[in-house]
Amino acid sequence: MEFESWNEKYCPRKLSDLVGQPKAVMEVTNFINKFPSARKKAILLWGPTGCGKTCLVKALASEKDYELVELSGADLRNKDAVGSILGAASKQMSLFGGSKLILVDEVDSMSGVRDRGGLPALIDVIKNTQFPIILTANDAYIQKLKTLRNYCVIVDLKKLIPLSIAKRLGKICSAEGIDYEDNALRKLTLSVDGDMRAAINDLQMLCQGKDKLTEQDVKVWSRESEESIFNALKLIFKSYDLSAAFNAVDSLSEDYTDIMWWIDENLPNEYGDKIARSRAYNCLAHADIFNRRIMRWQHWRFLVYVRSLLVAGIQHAKDSTSARFIKYQRPSILLKLYIRAAKRRKSLGVTKQISSILHASSRNLEKSFYPYYEFIQKNNPEYAEEIDEWLGL
């Protein structure tokens, strides 16, 4: 039986099926309803990975019965590519005689020396398009999109909260005939940091061959995942078996950025020799450079260099293996990122709650109010309680 991704199978077919983005849905719908009389002919959706940008566009096209033309920013590498691919799509009538919607995914991937002229050409297409164009990006406010923003309606999608993701996963389990424990879904959603796509992928992997998902299943899966990274580190640091190390790394669910953090955290303890440590960090630095080029320019052919440097480069940087037992540590940066995200969620929750009382936006209150409020909480709890009572917190 052919494998079918649950992300594709349960992709929203109607806007009402989209989770956690009512404001964005309303703004995109208004844009489409006003086209082509609207002053701006394109809309730029931005938000974190897995928040529903592409799903929103697909649901909109499905609900309104539009022909959807999907393009990737990586396909529009320069002025000629934009003109021949996107320019043609923006002027040609739909194959079926109806309306057409053009989606350019990951427009922030249009960058680098080879892409010179790509973004100006995209702006020219937007000015003259006969059909609505929707662009997506992880961050609309990076420098290279500064001019493009002037020609687009900007709509931001928020990171999904765990409860919204858990409800969606529950519906998928019910549709697949899988019984589940509520705590199992809660634990699963907390591990994906608001990424619906990742949550559904993890759910599908966990539910293979099962008719019930338990909290213990998620715990065991999480523990096995961590044990797998420990095994990969052991093969890199304490062996010269290159084939086994490659196989261990290839089987990990972590991406190469996470693997770099794990190696960086544990490398100083494993490689006591200064020369070996210097060689290993040189490989790690070059892997990071190639990884950055992939993220900025979408040059995925560099992935082979990242993989080789992280595994072969670091494994063979040592002259001999260490016999000492090393207890591998989780990357401290992951904990710092988690703590920072938790603080951010707390400050956002407080400022949103009091914005109507203090007649200011939550964004302004995060800068002008929350730092002092946090200081008072720490140094004068009694006075902080009075503030909480006055604000209804």
Residues 270 and 323 reside in one and the same domain: yes
Return the C-alpha torsion angle 220, 224, 230, 233, nearest 10: -160
| Predicted pLDDT at 339 | 63
| Predicted pLDDT at 1 | 40
Residues 297 and 252 reside in one and the same domain: yes
Q: Does any domain span residue 218?
A: no
Calculate what percentage of the chain has a pLDDT beyond 70: 89
**Residues forming a β-bridge with 104:** 71, 135
Calculate what percentage of the chain has a pLDDT beyond 90: 27
| Predicted pLDDT at 308 | 93
How many structural domains does the chain have?
Answer: 4
Q: Does any domain span residue 17?
A: yes
Average pLDDT of the residues of the chain? 83
| Predicted pLDDT at 337 | 63
pLDDT level of residue 311 (50, 70, 90 thresholds): very high
Q: What pLDDT, in 10s, does the model give residues 178-188?
A: 999 999 998 88
Residues 147 and 38 reside in one and the same domain: yes
| Predicted pLDDT at 60 | 93
Q: What's the whole-number mean pLDDT along residues 8-25?
A: 91
Q: Which amino acid is at 341?
A: A
Range of the domain at 145: 6-156
Residues 236 and 373 reside in one and the same domain: no
| Predicted pLDDT at 336 | 66
Q: Does any domain span residue 22?
A: yes
Q: What pLDDT, in 10s, does the model give residues 278-291?
A: 999 999 999 999 98
Contact 310, 283 (CB under 8 A): yes
**How is residue 339 written in tokens?**
């703590």
Residues 167 and 299 reside in one and the same domain: no
Name which residue leads in pLDDT, 344 or 284: 284
**Residues forming a β-bridge with 179:** 212
Q: Does any domain span residue 343?
A: yes
Residues 89 and 106 reside in one and the same domain: yes
Looking up tokens 């450079």, which residue turns up? Answer: 289
CB neighbour class for 52 (10 Å; exposed up to 12, middle 13-18, buried from 19): buried
Q: What pLDDT, in 10s, does the model give residues 82-141?
A: 777 777 777 777 666 678 898 988 888 775 444 456 788 888 888 988 889 999 998 888
Among candidate residues 156, 186, 201, the one where a domain is terminated: 156
CA 333 to chain centre: 18
Contact 145, 108 (CB under 8 A): yes
Contact 134, 43 (CB under 8 A): yes
Among candidate residues 305, 330, 355, the one where a domain is terminated: 330
Provide the b/e sequence for 325-355 (b: ≥16 CB within 10 Å): eeebeebeeeeeeeeeeeeeeebbebbeebb
Q: What pLDDT, in 10s, does the model give residues 312-326?
A: 999 999 988 776 777
| Predicted pLDDT at 2 | 46
Among candidate residues 174, 189, 213, the one where a domain is terminated: 213
